[in-house]
Amino acid sequence: MTALNELKYKNNLTEQELAKRIGISRSQLYRIKKTGKIGPKALAGLKNAFPEVDMNEVIKYLK
């Protein structure tokens, strides 16, 4: 399970809700999960939406 899926289930969010909280589209979220590459906008959005999450852990899961 990816870190993004863990955030989704932990916070009881749909894919659309998770993407909206991060500030990206659902398609972008899908591409991040599929390719494992995350851009600066999505990374900043994740940090703002979920400040308690260790970004190093997120990046480790995505590689």
pLDDT at residue 54, as a whole number? 86
Closest among 61, 27, 24 to 41, alpha carbons compared: 24
62 vs 53: which has the higher pLDDT: 53
pTM of the predicted model, to two decimals?
0.85
Quick one: DSSP state of residue 27?
Answer: H
Q: Predicted confidence band at 63 (pLDDT cuts at 50, 70, 90)?
A: low
Buried b (16+ CB within 10 A) or exposed e, 28-63: bbebbbeeeebeeebbebbeeebeeeeeeebeeebe
1: pLDDT strictly greater than 60: no
Span 2-41, pLDDT tens digits = 788 889 999 999 999 999 999 999 999 999 988 888 889 9
Output the CA–CA distances (angstroms, integers) from residue 47 to 29, 34, 52, in the order listed.
15, 20, 8
Write out the two tokens for 8. 């989704």
